[in-house]
Structure 1
């Protein structure tokens, strides 16, 4: 047989193909495909078998059939009959189909139908059909659920409306009931409120009466306090005026008693003295009164002014008497001098005649006489008396100032006022620095502005708000300047000149500040006079050292010598810097100039030196004022230095304890004298500020 014939006998070759498909044929094929597969387990030689007159397809695939074909060739002979025709897969069979014999061999592994692909398609179609059926069921359930939900919603709305109606009815009932209760409570509340209002009015009236009574008492206390303060102020003013009257009387008495020329006073000079006694008596009678009226304060001020005028008249009388007395003494002295000159001329003539006679007669020469000079002890005692007098004079001024301010400084009600004044003094003094002249002018102007009674910058306070305000500021300024010497200048010597220039400028404007400054200088350092205070047998060691300027602690510990010398050096350098500093007005006379440095050195030379302190302060004075002293006194200053070196320095060495101050002074004197020998000048001290610095 040919290949074509054999291919026609295969399963695919037996298939029928129809190129024209009708809807009926498609429906038929779809039904056939949708039918479940029919599986058989017979020999796979043929692709289909018959069993009980029905075609059974093989379970094996074509590849498996080819593999098993060689194995089953022998067994095929045992089959009694084979089908000569293939199964018609359209469902039709041929007439030659016969039932299989019973000796067909069974296989344990079932063959796969060649219609496996068709079966898979049918399975997928079936799954799609099941999915569609499930979707239909789900859609039906969803619609059923929506219908149930709508019904349930309707029921809920009905129930809600019923419940709302019921609640509305209940609320209406409760509202009516509550309204009745509210009306009842409102009536009761109105009644209680009215009762409370009545009670409150009663209590308020009682409380207002108490407040009015308290306010009245408060105003009464304030008025009493105001009157008491006014009385205290009036008493203070009265006391101050009385002290000034008494002080003026004491000064007048002292001047009158010390006047050596009372015989030259006119008879009219007795009247002011008697008037002053009457003024003092009247002032004393006013001080004995309890309450002081404003008229009495004014009367006391008038008495004070009257006493000043009387004092001025009396001083003029005394000065005129002194002038006349001195003129008379000068005339007498002149006459005596003329007599002495005449006598000296007569003696000279007599001596000349005697010499001539002696020369002529060749007799022995005569013996000449010399006039005596004051002894060193007398000079020393005179200097000491002068120093003590000056020290006591300034000490008296400071004591008088302290007494006049005692009531003001202890008054607790004036504490805030004193604090503002202290702040306005401390701020400009503490900020003095040698930056430029504008800085110094600003600080000086602030202090002058304060002492002029003007209002403090940024405050509604002035120094003239109280009678003691301006004196308090002056005393505080003087003390602050001296304290700058021991606190600042002692550590930084060159800072003395800026402070000294402001102090000199203020001294020029207010001479009484200069007196207070000297008084505080003497109080802090009595060697500035110079005064060497002797120890009294009744003094303790602490009291004596405190008078000398040492600091003594509360437990009695006395300040160390090196610290004491350092503080005294700072104070002396500031004092010396004031002597050589220029005020801002170039044409003005210095209120305490360089002549006081010469006086101090002259006094030191005529007094016995003290250990260490004399050498220390002499060195400070010479180093600060040496250049100015040389420019003013020229050769006289050189002689003074030579005297210090030759006569005074050995005395210092005999009393020296530490040795350092004397060695420093000796070196300074040697170097300075050598410069003078080489015709050189002394240099300015470190930090010195010239007069034109004010305008820098």
Structure 2
């Protein structure tokens, strides 16, 4: 307001100055016009005679005085008119200024009232937005809660899943947009109507979603219960079948135990493993915590054993130390998971059984594919067997159970035993319900025999008792020569055993071992040849060539991959 008043005052001063300049300009123009007239008259007088000049002069003087008087009067009139114009302008400006100030005040009052009304409308719209936002937030929480209660989302119909997801997206968008409108007070009546309708739509089908979730949960629970029941029945069938198989093995072993000591060893091995498996039944529980512990214990055994390779002593020593740490009850870490056998009373038995089983199975997996690896596995097995006698007993039991020829024993086929069951007793494996081929069987058995031979011949320090030393190899070879050979398996077992353990047995028994080899070549080889089928002569021929070679050289060479590192002292 003060700025507008100052502006009007400045305008009045400028107008007054303009009027003064205009008045002065007019006076100067009138004076110039009168002087020009007087100059013209004087020129006319000069041209007249002296007599006329005086009369004329007087006349002109009188006229000049009159003109001067008229000029003065005109100037006074002009000044009066200018002053009157200036007063009129000043009055006009004052009136205009007062009117403008009044209109300005009225306009400002109108604007202020309009702002108050606009703020009130924005406040009411923001309040409505807050109410809709709160309702949308509550609906979103309810929808999320309903979705979380659905245990089997895969059983929901596609329409229900899409409806729930669309509702979640709509409510999330509504909450975000409404929050923005509340903050900026930018909501319109159209926005309010749109989001109110959106929230009402979601609320209308929320009940249908809840019913669909409950139906999916009910259906899923029924399916899970049915699945668990089927699994239980299947486990019972498997356990029953396994029990029958174990009973058959035990019956066969019992029949021969009285007349043959190797059969007794086989029977003891089978019984020991079966009893241990029965003892460990609680660890096969489907309880999530038991299952988690079992997997961690199994991983702690499998990782170091799977990593055994014919590298440096430090490499093998690391695997032994990790396994010892586990069996001694200290905490071990595998794949960022820690575990200790102290977490369950049966954990030690479980780890001992799995370690023995895993070491023996390295024969039919690792050694069968890479024969020179037998000595690295044997070094670890010897170290663990020296420190843990229970590991030693179970390693031998698993060797006998998985490969009866190492007892040695040939399990005869009786009338109540099927062909497949008989082969399983001899160590054949069933994969996917199908019995493995003879080629695969002989390859696996060769790996197991080579690993067994590597353990028997593996040297240990003099002050450390060998857990299963060369004397067992001598006894095995003597027992083999005192039994009737069988097609394929006898030649395969002798060849793989002598290639690995022959060098060490020669060192230990010298001439006695040479006599045993001569007996094998002169008396037993013809017996093997007689029972060997024409299409399975491979192992027999290789054994014959091996015997001829060592007889000619009077020595047995070290086997490929032969190592003698001592891991019993860590």
- TM-score bracket for this pair, using the shorter chain length: 0.5 to 0.7
Contact preservation (8 Å) 1:504, 1:582:
no
Q: 1:181 to 1:543 in 2, by over 3 A?
A: same
2:409 is the alignment partner of 1:531: yes
SS in 2 for 1:490: helix
Aligned residue for 1:394? Answer: 269
Deviations 1:131-161 (A, max 9, x none): xxxxxxxxxxxxxxxxxxxxxxxxxxxxxxx
Do 2:450 and 2:500's aligned partners in 1 also have CA atoms closer than 8 Å?
yes
Q: 1:468 aligns with which of 336, 346, 363?
A: 346
CA contact (8 A) 2:270 2:397 kept: yes
Three-state SS of the structure 2 residue aligned to 1:634 is: helix
Counterpart mapping for 1:173-252 below 5 A? 173-179=110-116, 182=119
Matching residue within 636, 639, 644 for 2:515: 639
Alignment: residue pair count: 353
Partner SS for 1:550: coil
State the Cα distance separating 1:692 from its structure 2 match. 5.5
Q: Deviations along 1:388-446, whole A, 9 cap, x unmatched?
A: 11111111110111011112123331222222222211111111122211111111010
Do residues 544 (structure 1) and 394 (structure 2) align? Answer: no
Q: Offset of 1:644 from its aligned partner?
A: 0.6
Q: Is the 8 A contact 2:449 2:496 kept in 1?
A: yes
- Runs of 5+ in structure 2 lacking a partner? 1-98, 150-255
Change (3 A) 1:660 1:176: same
Match among 272, 275, 286 for residue 411 of structure 1: 286
* 2:535 is aligned with 1:598: no
1:571 pairs with 427, 448, 462, which one? 448
1:443 corresponding residue in structure 2: 319
Are 1:510 and 2:388 an aligned pair? Answer: yes
Compared with structure 1, are the counterparts of its residues 425 and 692 closer, same or farther at alpha carbon in structure 2 (3 Å cutoff)?
closer
- 1:656 counterpart residue number: 532
Q: Per-residue deviation at 1:459?
A: 3.3
Aligned with residue 464 of structure 2, among 571, 588, 591: 588
Contact 1:436 1:693 in 2 (8 A): no
Question: Which of residues 683, 687, 693 in structure 1 aligns to 2:561?
Answer: 687
Gaps of 5+ in 1: 1-161, 215-380
Alignment-derived partner of residue 494 in structure 1: 372
Q: Which residue number corresponds to residue 456 of structure 1?
A: 332
Structure of larger gyration radius: 1
- Indicate if the aligned counterparts of 1:437 and 1:695 stay in contact, CA closer than 8 A: no
Distance 1:588 1:567 in 2: 31
Relative to its length, the structure with more helix (as a share) is 2
Mapped to 2, the partners of 1:623 and 1:688 lie a distance apart of: 11
Q: Return the offset for 1:482.
A: 1.2
Q: CA deviation at 1:182?
A: 4.5
RMSD across aligned positions (CA): 3.7
Mapped to 1, the partners of 2:445 and 2:299 lie a distance apart of 27
> What SS is found at the alignment partner of 2:363?
helix
Q: Does 1:615 align with 2:491?
A: yes
Aligned ranges for residues 286-297 of structure 1 at < 5 Å? none
Contact 1:500 1:581 in 2 (8 A): yes
Deviations 1:552-598 (A, max 9, x none): 34454x32222211110000000110111135x55201111010001
Return the alpha-carbon distance in structure 2 between the equivalents of residues 663 and 447 of structure 1: 41
**How far apart, in 2, do the equivalents of 1:444 and 1:573 lie?**
21
Within-5 A mapping of 1:228-307: none
In 1, distance between residues paired with 2:265 and 2:383? 23
Deviations 1:375-400 (A, max 9, x none): xxxxxx99961011111111111011
TM-superposed CA distance for 1:469, in Å, is 1.5
Q: Cα–Cα, structure 1 residues 511 and 175, in superposed 2: closer, same or farther, change >3 Å?
A: same
Q: 1:518 to 1:183 in 2, by over 3 A?
A: same
Rounded Cα–Cα distance in structure 1 between residues aligned with 2:448 and 2:426 = 14
